[in-house]
Amino acid sequence: MNWLRNLAVWLDDRLHLTALYASTAGHEVPASAGSWFYVFGSATLLCFVIQVITGTCLAFVYVPSTNEAWTSLQYLNHAQFLGWYLRAVHYWGSNFMVAIMTAHMIQVFLFGAYKYPRELTWVSGVFLLLCTLGLAFTGQVMRFDQDAYWGLGIGASVMGRVPLIGSQLVHVLLAGPIIAGETLSRFFTLHVFIIPGLIIAIVAMHLRLVLTKGINEYPRPGRLVHKSTYDAEYAEILRKEGVPFVPHAIGKDLIFAGFVIVGILGCAFFFGPKGPFGIPDPTIVDTNPRPDFYFLSIFAALALLPDWMEVLVLFVAPVICIVLLLALPFISGTGEKSARRRPVAVLSVVFVMLTIAVLCYMGQTSPWSPKMDAWSADAIPVQFVKNRTPLQLKGALVFQNKQCRNCHSLGGHGGQRGPALDAVATRLTEPEMVRQVIQGGGNMPAYGKKLSPPEVDALVAFMETLHPQGVPPVRPSDQRENKLPRDFAVLRVTK
């Protein structure tokens, strides 16, 4: 076996492998950094590698052409051997990547790892976050279905709101005046060449900074960071309790990596790939576009914001967020690292995550969207039409046929855009109902032109019957006597 050893020595001499190993995998880290909290960075990188590998495989078959993309996705799902599985792994890999990257970012933030001297590690991480979100958006366009088409439409409409250069930005985004042949090619190029290339470059810098500036020691409450003393303290930590990253600190990363891979593969196997949904034919207007979950929160915010805030949230807020993230290590680059002594940091994480989660949930349920088929699909529940007069029944028909149900629910079925009308008679008097129906108001369109006077009479007669048993409808006289707010009636009902 002597020749084998000689070969190894020769290779090492020519390639300087020992030195490379010592300065990378074998570099010393504080023993305290071998913690379960420190596994998310390597796991994010692992996800990225999985995405590159599965994405490359998918590119063997996928056709980035507006005419063929959807068909080639169907081919991948149904005809190509294991095509569905590769698509599923790529899709779930992206979900895991965004989720684990978020965990990594929260951990780094709460452990004060962005502080002196690791400012640029954090800054490069912020750019990696932006690149990953870019991959997520462009990846959703690769699944070229109705959601992708109208998602691009939303993107273009957002760009179109930029003052002065809006029209040019739309042009750049869509590679032309409208979503057409070159739009998909543009997003394909971004998704498979430009953004992954940027990520590889920035990850290289990110990792080099981890090597040169060291990994953050596990913070201890009360041990403050001072620019004048920190470097010496860190050297002292390494001298006292430094261990080589491989093999002494990588164990937990390896175990977590195994779980991540099994998690991605398991989700892919059991839940399968996402879509493609309807064909990207814009003439099918009977569609309900929703973004992937990474962007659901923004989608929801755009439904819930008042008009005057939209431009602020679309253009000013992202800039402020990114600038704040980039400036963070320079604003609070020293001092306390431990989350136990940084209540504001902990609360801001909780606040941001709760906001995103609630908005995601609202985006998923979209109570602001009319239920487009409620008027034809959801019959009025029996209890609302039993023992009614012919006029009231006629009103129920008007209610159904004029598509009121698309926005107003009865018995829990129907749209949630407007208030549920199960107990409307306890809130509005007859004249108020007439006025509301004819003139609209409070985000309800006016129906004066679409309803004849007899139809209005019938409709209001029907709505007058909408009150719980034992709770009488409000009468105009009631209100004059007791000056209680109208909603008091609702309170009585719920009690």
Partner 1 sequence: MTGPHNAQHPIPQDNTPREQPDPSRRDWLFHIGVAANIAAGILLGIPLVGFVFSSFVERKDPRAWISLGPLESFPEKTTRIATYRNPFTRPWDGETANIPCWVRRLTGNQFQVFAVNCTHLGCPVRWFKEAGLFLCPCHGGAYYEDGARAAGPPPRDLYQYTYKVESGELWVKGGEMPTLSNPV
Of the candidate residues 223, 340, 450, 475, the single one contacting partner 1 (CB under 8 A): 450
Residue 420 engages partner 1 in binding (rule: CB under 8 A): no
- Least Å distance, CB 335 to partner 1, is 34
CA angle 477, 480, 484 (to 5 degrees): 115
Of the candidate residues 149, 188, 245, 295, the single one contacting partner 1 (CB under 8 A): 149
CB atoms within 10 A of CB 126: 20
Residue 174 engages partner 1 in binding (rule: CB under 8 A): yes
Helices (H), 161-277: 166-174, 181-189, 195-213, 230-241, 251-271
Residue 212 engages partner 1 in binding (rule: CB under 8 A): no
Report the C-alpha gap between 266 and 196 in whole angstroms.
25
Number of residues that bind partner 1 (CB under 8 A): 73
Torsion region of 180: left, alpha or beta (phi above 0 gives left; psi -120 to 50 gives alpha): beta
Report the C-alpha gap between 270 and 237 in whole angstroms.
46
Of the candidate residues 401, 439, 453, 485, the single one contacting partner 1 (CB under 8 A): 401
Of the candidate residues 61, 444, 490, 493, the single one contacting partner 1 (CB under 8 A): 444
Whichever of 403 and 429 has its CB closer to partner 1, that residue is 403
In the numeric block, which tokens belong to residue 280? 């990207």
Of the candidate residues 161, 227, 475, 492, the single one contacting partner 1 (CB under 8 A): 161
Of the candidate residues 305, 317, 326, 490, the single one contacting partner 1 (CB under 8 A): 305
Residue 207 engages partner 1 in binding (rule: CB under 8 A): no
Whichever of 273 and 415 has its CB closer to partner 1, that residue is 415
Residue 288 engages partner 1 in binding (rule: CB under 8 A): yes
Q: Which of residues 13-72 bind partner 1 (CB under 8 A)?
A: 13, 16, 18-20, 23, 65-68
Of the candidate residues 7, 229, 271, 281, the single one contacting partner 1 (CB under 8 A): 281
- Least Å distance, CB 374 to partner 1, is 11
Stretch that binds partner 1, among 108-116, 134-142, 280-288, 330-338 (CB under 8 A): 280-288
Residue 166 engages partner 1 in binding (rule: CB under 8 A): yes
Q: Concatenated DSSP letters for 362-409? A: HHHH-TTS--TTHHHHSPPPGGGTTT--HHHHHHHHHHHHTTGGGTS-
CB atoms within 10 A of CB 385: 17
Q: Which of residues 225-264 bind partner 1 (CB under 8 A)?
A: none
- Least Å distance, CB 9 to partner 1, is 9
Residue 2 engages partner 1 in binding (rule: CB under 8 A): no
- Least Å distance, CB 181 to partner 1, is 3
Stretch that binds partner 1, among 77-85, 180-188, 245-253, 324-332 (CB under 8 A): 180-188
Phi, psi (deg, nearest 5) at residue 30 = -60, 140
Whichever of 236 and 373 has its CB closer to partner 1, that residue is 373
Helices (H), 305-342: 307-311, 317-331
* CA dist list (Å): 200 to 211, 383, 434: 16, 63, 64
Interface mask toward partner 1 for 312-351; x: CB under 8 A = ----------------------------------------
* CA dist list (Å): 175 to 45, 139, 164, 178, 419: 31, 17, 19, 8, 43
Answer for the pair 181, 65: CB distance below 8 angstroms, yes or no: yes
Interface mask toward partner 1 for 355-394; x: CB under 8 A = -------------xxx-x--x-------------------
Q: Which of residues 421-440 bind partner 1 (CB under 8 A)?
A: 440
Amino acid at 398: V
For residue 276, whether the previous peptide bond is cis, meaning omega lies within 30 degrees of 0, is yes
Whichever of 45 and 179 has its CB closer to partner 1, that residue is 179
- Rounded to 10 deg, the angle between the 453-464 and 430-439 helix axes is 130
Query: Partners of 30 in the beta sheet?
Result: 242
Of the candidate residues 72, 297, 406, 429, the single one contacting partner 1 (CB under 8 A): 406
